[in-house]
Structure 1
Amino acid sequence: MSGWVPQIEDRRGPRYLAIADAIGEAIRDGSLQPEERLPTHRDLAYDLGVTVGTVSRAYAEAVRRDYVIGEVGRGTYVKPENEPDNPFHIPYDVEPDIYDFSLNFPAEEGRVELLSKALMGVAQDPGLGALMRYQSEQGMEHHRQAMAKWAAHHGAPNDPERIVVSNGVQHAMTLSLMALSKAGDTLLCEEYSYPGIKTLATQLGLKMQGLPMDGEGIIPEKLEEAIVQTGARMLYCMPNFQNPTNVVMGLDRRKEIALIAKKYGVWIIEDDIYGFLHDDPSAHTPFASLLPEQTFYLNGASKCVSPGVRVGFVLAPKQKVSTVAACMRLSSWMAAPLNVELTARWIEDGTVFDLMEWHRGEAQSRQAVMNKALQGQDFLSLQGTYHAWLRLPAPWSAEMFCLRARERDVSILPAHVFHIGKKQPENAVRICYGSPPNLDHVEEGMSRLATLLSEEIHAFHNVM
């Protein structure tokens, strides 16, 4: 490993940019050689007197500038000379001893073999040429039929004519908001929400208002108050295993919200990306069935099949299908037919539903490890999910807990990352246990968090 330490004292601007600049200069003057390993995040942070987070951000910037490559299990290296482009290489700058509970990734099992088999099947299909041509912005007919079957598995209407196939659920969110909004409009959502919706709303020039929640999600009275006060006509929500809080709306709560939405003409954007984790997804009636004429139902493959497939869909209200399709044509013309073909085949042969069942079992196994490690703590993690919402005991603050966890090589996210509104976020963190490679990794990371939780305030005052 390199003993290289940059001199950044006289550099202006943010420390992370100074470090990234120094890496580039050291490569150019030969101080850092091709394929030389850079110091670990922790070692360089210690040598420079900065936080580990600053070094992580600096290395990520160096990857972006194409100075270095980061590989799981190896660390961060200067790029080799004349390195050819590798279409399958994804820079992911995580040290091998990091227990990353920060990102809500699904567990992986046998997906390479699954993809290989499906690709061979497509390659032998005499109709392969159709996948190479432009298609309807809504998607090919048999693709829409497959997505409608997926929606029906979750209790939504089986109506291929209302399906617009998208490049993932994030894209489905974009299409729905493009179809409904203009700059300056207000979007209502849970007060703790998926960060992607915050970024998307900002890009579209939308105002956001978070709605107070209880153990079943959005409080109906608060929803009605916000509609009256703001004139909002859009609501984004995640009724099943809400990200990040993990709450699930009961049927009565869904009916109350649907009645309010109908009364005021509010469009509901229903993100059901985690609905498959229910033992029987169809038993949890979606807004798409309670209020089909005002609900945009979103689902896709990223959590239950593979994020790399990038396939999702919008089940739109009948009167809005053409508008969503026009937004698809504007944004990317169509979803990639080859990706959708693979997913459609997996739906038709039952592979998707087998994967959903596998994930439910795997999530329960990982969750059992967490439950044992964090026994006695105040956290919400419903059976069979991949994330938990941990309310911290005094004297911990969320930010301090995340910092101390990172010093122990465990990465988690504080509540403010997800919070929408002006009031103080609650003292909580989100813990995701789908991305670690195995149960042993989950167990070790959870053990470190449990040890950290047991510390008294004087234990970390001494290191501030």
Structure 2
Amino acid sequence: MTMAFLDLATLHRPVYQSLADQIARAIADGRLANGVKLPPHRILAHDLDISVQTVSRAYEELIRRGLVSGETGRGSFVRRQEPSSDVPYLQERPGEIVDLSILKPVCEAMHLDRMKTVLAELATDLPASAALSFRPNVIFPGHRIVASEWLRHCGLKTSPDNVILTNGATAGMTVAMMSAASTGTVIATEAVGHHTLVPLASYLGLKIAGVEIDGEGMVPEALAALCRQEDVRAIFLQPSPINPSATMMGLERREALIAVARENALAIIENDPLGPLIEDRPPPLAALAPERTLYVTSFTKTVLPGLRTGYLVAPDRLMPAVANRHLVSHWIATPLLAEIASRWVRDGTAMELLRWQRAALKVRQAIVRDMLAGVEYGAHPEGLHVWVPLKSRAEEEVFVSQARLRGVALAPGRSFQIGRDEHPAVRIALGAASETELRSGLRIVASLHQAAPEPLLLAI
């Protein structure tokens, strides 16, 4: 077959990696269909005037990613692809690069020490139900009471009976989507939104529609227009600066979206993994419209990455559906992690670590202001990331690849695009790298932004 889409001029070092990336994009956008046989190594090497070894390494990289299968005596073929999330974070080995792509909280030795301490405590007084029981109603009644206490810090007053314990925000999102919409119907979300929504909706038989956004998030008039055109059953919102563009939705905008939801009988799924992290924030949508909002929060982005447990709050009318769908998809949250979270909420450790995180992120954001002076970007002073708009998708692709070549991993804006409208940008996560690495990475970002990066010309 021909590989006319390959562009030698835009290949950059390491060439095998760049070649693999071009072929991967062709697979993702359908230019290379499932089952298609790739050209033999020697033929492609001749066509591109590169070494056979370079092509072999590129094919091996595609096999490692699960995009291609190599069959002895037959050649290399495009594997059948399931819907993918185009994950916006680095999937390579850490330590080789400054990773500003993955969104995680700032962590120090203190965090590991806290976990070691609580595990030592559990070794002496672990509740029997946490290890031996198999029924949520036996294990979690006390945990739900503690959950309602934590949720008050999130700005939400709710009964323990309306809380489901989950294995983090992703599990909560999944159950909420299964409960709020039925097969073939539409869930509306921000045009720049959560990177897993499209594949998740595909697996659940739902449709995702990206709705126009502005500096406060989803535009109510655009949502109302979509409701007149499509069978919309729910809206998925990230009103806190966890959303890719790092915007905080104001109270008036929240109330306007709730009005559209009520007029069109829509459920609201509110994803709020930052919980109480942001000070002086408006009340959650779940506090303003408790009759229709499914509220999702967790501890992984604010307290400890490994504390993969959280809460899903649902109104009375949706609780039977939520409970049943959680049972069939997850059965129960992991009791040990739920026990740790409950202990930390009760003894104040969770809030202590959250306040520490808030202070650490203020320092990181100050570093951003210093290093990106003169660069236009979106951020919140207590947020986990910043969002740097770019002029075009082509510039975004070059920007990310140039940063990668210089040792910095960034998340491309395309990973968060939902719908047709393009919002070229890069997301820069602040928590994974050390402060020294962060300064180094941001210095490279600033220089690339100032220089308007161009593809490298290579001597191959």
Quick check: TM above 0.5?
yes
Whether contact under 8 Å (1:167, 1:312) holds in the other structure is yes
Give the unaligned 5+ runs of structure 2: 1-13, 17-21, 26-49, 68-89
Q: Residues 451 and 14 from structure 1, CA distance in 2 versus in 1: closer, same or farther, beyond 3 angstroms?
A: closer
Whether contact under 8 Å (1:137, 1:325) holds in the other structure is no
Q: Within 5 A, what are the aligned runs for 1:80-159?
A: 93-94=92-93, 96-109=95-108, 110-125=110-125, 127-136=127-136, 140-159=140-159
Per-residue deviation, 1:355? 1.1
Q: Within 5 A, what are the aligned runs for 1:168-207?
A: 168-207=168-207
Q: What corresponds to 1:274 in structure 2?
A: 274
Per-residue deviation, 1:456? 4.5
Whether contact under 8 Å (2:274, 2:298) holds in the other structure is no
Q: Hey, what's the Cα distance between the residues in 2 that align with 1:385 and 1:334?
A: 31
Whether contact under 8 Å (1:139, 1:335) holds in the other structure is no
Letter aligned with residue 382 of structure 1: H
Q: What corresponds to 1:30 in structure 2?
A: none
Q: Residues 403 and 260 from structure 1, CA distance in 2 versus in 1: closer, same or farther, beyond 3 angstroms?
A: same
Q: Residues 245 and 339 from structure 1, CA distance in 2 versus in 1: closer, same or farther, beyond 3 angstroms?
A: same
Per-residue deviation, 1:92? 7.0
Q: Within 5 A, what are the aligned runs for 1:178-327?
A: 178-280=178-280, 283-327=281-325
Q: Hey, what's the Cα distance between the residues in 2 that align with 1:450 and 1:49?
A: 32
Q: Hey, what's the Cα distance between the residues in 1 that align with 2:56 and 2:140?
A: 51
Q: Residues 267 and 177 from structure 1, CA distance in 2 versus in 1: closer, same or farther, beyond 3 angstroms?
A: same
Whether contact under 8 Å (1:239, 1:248) holds in the other structure is yes
Give the unaligned 5+ runs of structure 1: 8-12, 17-44, 63-90
Q: Hey, what's the Cα distance between the residues in 1 that align with 2:367 and 2:386?
A: 12
Q: What corresponds to 2:357 in structure 1?
A: 359
Sequence identity (%): 28
Q: Hey, what's the Cα distance between the residues in 2 that align with 1:174 and 1:213?
A: 23
SS at match of 2:333: coil
> RCO (CA 8 Å, sep 6+): is it higher in 1 or 2?
2
Letter aligned with residue 234 of structure 1: A
Q: Residues 394 and 120 from structure 1, CA distance in 2 versus in 1: closer, same or farther, beyond 3 angstroms?
A: closer
Per-residue deviation, 1:403? 0.9
Structure 1 residues 303-328: Cα deviation after superposition (integer angstroms, max 9, x where no partner):
11223222011100111112111112
Q: Hey, what's the Cα distance between the residues in 1 that align with 2:449 and 2:341?
A: 42
Q: Hey, what's the Cα distance between the residues in 2 that align with 1:339 and 1:310?
A: 7
Per-residue deviation, 1:182? 2.2
Q: Hey, what's the Cα distance between the residues in 2 that align with 1:51 and 1:213?
A: 44
SS at match of 2:377: strand
Q: Hey, what's the Cα distance between the residues in 2 that align with 1:47 and 1:378?
A: 43
Structure 1 residues 387-446: Cα deviation after superposition (integer angstroms, max 9, x where no partner):
1110126897111111111111111122111101123x122111111111x100111111
Q: What corresponds to 1:419 in structure 2?
A: 417
Q: Hey, what's the Cα distance between the residues in 2 that align with 1:211 and 1:145?
A: 37
SS at match of 1:328: helix
Letter aligned with residue 438 of structure 2: V
Per-residue deviation, 1:180? 2.2
Q: Higher mean Cα deviation, 383-392 or 136-145?
A: 136-145
Q: Hey, what's the Cα distance between the residues in 2 that align with 1:449 and 1:53?
A: 27
TM-score (normalised: structure 1): 0.78
Whether contact under 8 Å (1:234, 1:266) holds in the other structure is yes
Given the alignment of the two structures, is residue 430 of structure 1 paired with residue 397 of structure 2, yes or no?
A: no
Structure 1 residues 211-255: Cα deviation after superposition (integer angstroms, max 9, x where no partner):
111111111111111112112011001000042111111011111
Give the aligned length.
Answer: 397
Q: Hey, what's the Cα distance between the residues in 1 that align with 2:449 and 2:240?
A: 28
Per-residue deviation, 1:301? 1.2
Per-residue deviation, 1:205? 1.4
Q: Hey, what's the Cα distance between the residues in 2 that align with 1:14 and 1:395?
A: 18
Q: What corresponds to 1:37 in structure 2?
A: none
Whether contact under 8 Å (1:157, 1:288) holds in the other structure is no
Q: Hey, what's the Cα distance between the residues in 1 that align with 2:129 and 2:138?
A: 19
Q: Residues 325 and 163 from structure 1, CA distance in 2 versus in 1: closer, same or farther, beyond 3 angstroms?
A: same
Per-residue deviation, 1:447? 1.0
SS at match of 1:240: coil
Which of 394, 397, 412 is the equivalent residue of 2:395?
A: 397
